[in-house]
Every structure is written in structure tokens, then in C-alpha cells.
């Protein structure tokens, strides 16, 4: 590609990239902005490693307003959703949330998402890169009497880390009463907001949905606290990788089903018994007999990171591919995740990754690489 062609491509990307409501706030805070999922987003402020470690020890504020916030209402919403996802949505009580998977007709993963029973409706948070595809798929496949609203007037913030609850409770006291995968509505400075005790870092934390016009004041109020700093995409990625959490479009896609993706926990017991979700025959067959491949964690020898796309080998035989990888600040070494044959998926199995024409020794590892610190009912 010539310099002129590269410039034309860069201009085209910039023209197609949208600014989030907090764009000016990020820039004022020193955020280094990059294109991600069609939006300008901060990849870092002070540095990825420093921000990563800050979240593990304190509280970090992430802007995840690129995510799609949907609301479904109407009669028999839960039952309608169960025709598209493998979770037991009908059993979800008000104020509770569940991780689930939007499946195509063959059981391939179209997206991973969070579903919350909000009492009068079901809230769904979908990934930003595929939210328009998800909206189209839901509208096409849900009954006509189900109303789907895309809440574009609301942003989404994530406050993550062991000190997140102390910080958020100063602004929204209701936060302290939640445990992992619980949600509630509240008000802040006259604005209706929704909070859930959830996140994408493996740490305790919250996601807060609030009107776009309130985002700047809310972010300022949090970052005025000593334990809170703004955190960028770079640390979000290294944190979720250490937590063993897949990223859609990288570790998951329509060619992968829930069993292959090591997400069988998202298939509820009743649904395993009854089926009735897309690709049930394939998925239930994999649950019973095993799948040919599986997503695994990889510990990497040495200091050279193994990145997405690196081929994996058993001896001289190519066996799979790395789907995410990088340096893990809390581990102090490179880590990765990828797909290998199920027969080579046991922790301790030796494989090799090809990096710049050289083989790097890796060991299959149990995930998460760093223990999850979610606050559950027991308080643990």
C-alpha cells in the first residue's frame, strides 16, 4: 500500500468513526483515542500496565457506551428469547441477570450478551461491534408483538476493582446492597439510572447505565475520588484476558458453538433437557460426546507475547490458532487463549506457537489466570 492509499484509508476510517458522548472528556483527561467498533475510544491515559494494576488494587472507570443497550417488552418475552438463546430466561427473577449467547440456526455464536429481568421489561447489553446485526436479527426472529427499543440516549460506564463499591456507594447507596449478577434502578441528581454488579475484568465492580447528558458529571464525580481513575481499552483487554473472558469477534464467532467456546455453563439445565434453542442437536451432541476443539488458556514461556492469529503446533503438526494474547501485568508473563483439539486441551499439555517464524513453547493452562473476585451471596 502506498502512502497515498494509506492516507485515503485513514481518512475513510476517520470519517466513518463516531464520537461517544464522553469523547471530549476523554481527550481532556489525556486519553489516547483509537478507532474501535466504529467509535473513537481511549486506549490508555497513563499507560496500559499502570492502569491494569490500578484496577486490580483500586477502582477504574471505563466508558463502554459503544455497547448496545436494548429493552424488550411484551407478552411472553422470556419464552420468545429462549428460542434464540440457550439460557433459562423464564426462571430469571426480577433484579437478576444472566450471561447468555445469541445463536444462529446451526448453534454458532452470533454474540455473547447480558440479559436482565428489570421487572417490566428485559434489558439486554450486546457488543458494540455487532449491535446493529443483533438488533436486526432480534427484530427478524422475535414475534411482532414483542417491542424492541434501542436506548441510544443512554451511555454505559463500568466501575471495576476492589474499591469500586466504596466509591459508587457514595453516589448511589443502593450499589452496596447488590451482589454479583444483581441489578436495580436508582436515581442520581434527578436522573433515572440502572446499576448492576457485573463487569468484564474479573474484579468486583458495577456497570451503570445513565442518560447521555448526565455522563460527564457522573464521571467527574467518580474520578474526583482518590481511589478512582479513568482506564482505557488497553487495560480492559489485558484484564479480561487474565480473567479468561472471551472477546466476541476474536475468541468467539459464528463458526464456534458454546461447547467449543468453553461456555457450556451458559446452557441451563432445563434447556439441556428440553432443547428448543438454535443448533440444539449440534450443541447437545457436543455436550454428550465432546467437541473436536476447545478454547483454552496458554501460558507462554519467555517474554515474547503471542498475539492473535499465531498458529499452534503439536510437534510439526498444526493444531490450532491463538485468538487473544498479550502480556499479563498481574501474572508477570505473556498469556494467551486459543483453540486446540479437545484431546490436547488438558492443563499441562505442551504446545508451541509460531511467532515471526520461530516456535515459542506454551503450556495449556486452566482459566482464569487470575482468580475472579466477584462478590457473591456469601460475601466471598
Give 125-137 pLDDT, tens digit per residue: 999 999 999 999 9
Closest-CA residue to 140 (of 98, 222, 83, 195): 83
Average pLDDT value for the chain: 95
- Exposed, middle or buried, 348 (CB in 10 Å: 0-12/13-18/19+)? exposed
What percentage of the chain has pLDDT greater than the value 90? 94
- pLDDT in the model for residue 377: 81
pLDDT per position as a tens digit, 286-296: 999 999 999 99
- Exposed, middle or buried, 229 (CB in 10 Å: 0-12/13-18/19+)? buried
- Which residues, listed in sequence order, are joined to residue 240 by a DSSP beta bridge? none
Contacts of 238 (CB under 8 A, 6+ apart): 48, 52, 326, 327, 328, 329
d(CA 219, CA 230): 9
In CATH, the architecture of 3-65+153-242 is 2-Layer Sandwich (3.30)
Give the pLDDT mean for 56-80.
98
pLDDT tops 50 at residue 8: no
Instruction: Tell me which fold the domain 292-365 belongs to.
Output: Elongation Factor Tu (Ef-tu); domain 3 (2.40.30)
- pLDDT in the model for residue 380: 39
As a 3-state breakdown, the chain gives helix, strand, coil percent values, each rounded to 5, of 30, 35, 40
Contacts of 298 (CB under 8 A, 6+ apart): 306, 322, 325, 335, 336, 337, 338, 351, 353, 362, 363, 364, 365
Predicted structure pTM score:
0.94
pLDDT tops 70 at residue 107: yes
Residue corresponding to grid cell 481499552: 233
- Bond into 179 cis (ω within 30): no
Q: In what order do the strands lie in the sheet with 18-19?
A: 18-19, 39-44, 32-36
- pLDDT in the model for residue 66: 97
Could you tell me the residue ranges of all domains in the chain?
Answer: 3-65+153-242, 292-365
Q: What is the pLDDT confidence band of residue 12, given thresholds at 50, 70 and 90?
A: very low
d(CA 125, CA 207): 11
Q: What is the pLDDT confidence band of residue 16, given thresholds at 50, 70 and 90?
A: low
pLDDT tops 60 at residue 207: yes
Contacts of 372 (CB under 8 A, 6+ apart): 202, 203, 243
More confident residue, 200 or 13: 200
pLDDT tops 70 at residue 339: yes
- pLDDT in the model for residue 378: 58
Contacts of 117 (CB under 8 A, 6+ apart): 78, 89, 92, 93, 94, 95, 96, 97
- pLDDT in the model for residue 236: 98
Amino acid at each position: 500500500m502506498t502512502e497515498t492509499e494509506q492516507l485515503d484509508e485513514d481518512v475513510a476510517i476517520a470519517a466513518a468513526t463516531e464520537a461517544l458522548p464522553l469523547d471530549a472528556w476523554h481527550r481532556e483527561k489525556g486519553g489516547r483515542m483509537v478507532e474501535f467498533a466504529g467509535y473513537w475510544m481511549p486506549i490508555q491515559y497513563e499507560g496500559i500496565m499502570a492502569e491494569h494494576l490500578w484496577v486490580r488494587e483500586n477502582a477504574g472507570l471505563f466508558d463502554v457506551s459503544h455497547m448496545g443497550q436494548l429493552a424488550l417488552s411484551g407478552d411472553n418475552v422470556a419464552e420468545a428469547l429462549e428460542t434464540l438463546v440457550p439460557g433459562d430466561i423464564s426462571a430469571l427473577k426480577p433484579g437478576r441477570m444472566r450471561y447468555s449467547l445469541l445463536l444462529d440456526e446451526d448453534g454458532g455464536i452470533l454474540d455473547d450478551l447480558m440479559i436482565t429481568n428489570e421487572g417490566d421489561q428485559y434489558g439486554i447489553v450486546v457488543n458494540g461491534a455487532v449491535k446493529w446485526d443483533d438488533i436486526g436479527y432480534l427484530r427478524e426472529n422475535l414475534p411482532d408483538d414483542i417491542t424492541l427499543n434501542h436506548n441510544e440516549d443512554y451511555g454505559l460506564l463500568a466501575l471495576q476493582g476492589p474499591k469500586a463499591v466504596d466509591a459508587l456507594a457514595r453516589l448511589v447507596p443502593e450499589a452496596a446492597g447488590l451482589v454479583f449478577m444483581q441489578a436495580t434502578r436508582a436515581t442520581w441528581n434527578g436522573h433515572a439510572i440502572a446499576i448492576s454488579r457485573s463487569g468484564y475484568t474479573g474484579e468486583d465492580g458495577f456497570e451503570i447505565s445513565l442518560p447521555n447528558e448526565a455522563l460527564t458529571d457522573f464521571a467527574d464525580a467518580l474520578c474526583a475520588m482518590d481511589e478512582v481513575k479513568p482506564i482505557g481499552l488497553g487495560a480492559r483487554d489485558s484484564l479480561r484476558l487474565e480473567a479468561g473472558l472471551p472477546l466476541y469477534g476474536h475468541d468467539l464467532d459464528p463458526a464456534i458453538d458454546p461447547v467449543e467456546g468453553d461456555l457450556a455453563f451458559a446452557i441451563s439445565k432445563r434447556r439441556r433437557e428440553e432443547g428448543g434453542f438454535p443448533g440444539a442437536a449440534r450443541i447437545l451432541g457436543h455436550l454428550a460426546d465432546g467437541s473436536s476443539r476447545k478454547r483454552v488458556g496458554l501460558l507462554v514461556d519467555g517474554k515474547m507475547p503471542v498475539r492473535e492469529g499465531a498458529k499452534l503446533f503439536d510437534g510439526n503438526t498444526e493444531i490450532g490458532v491463538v485468538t487473544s494474547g498479550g502480556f499479563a501485568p498481574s501474572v508477570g508473563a505473556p498469556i494467551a487463549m486459543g483453540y486446540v483439539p479437545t484431546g490436547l486441551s488438558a492443563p499441562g499439555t505442551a504446545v508451541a506457537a509460531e511467532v515471526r517464524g520461530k516456535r515459542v513453547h506454551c503450556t495449556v493452562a486452566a482459566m482464569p489466570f487470575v482468580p475472579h473476585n466477584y462478590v457473591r451471596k456469601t460475601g466471598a
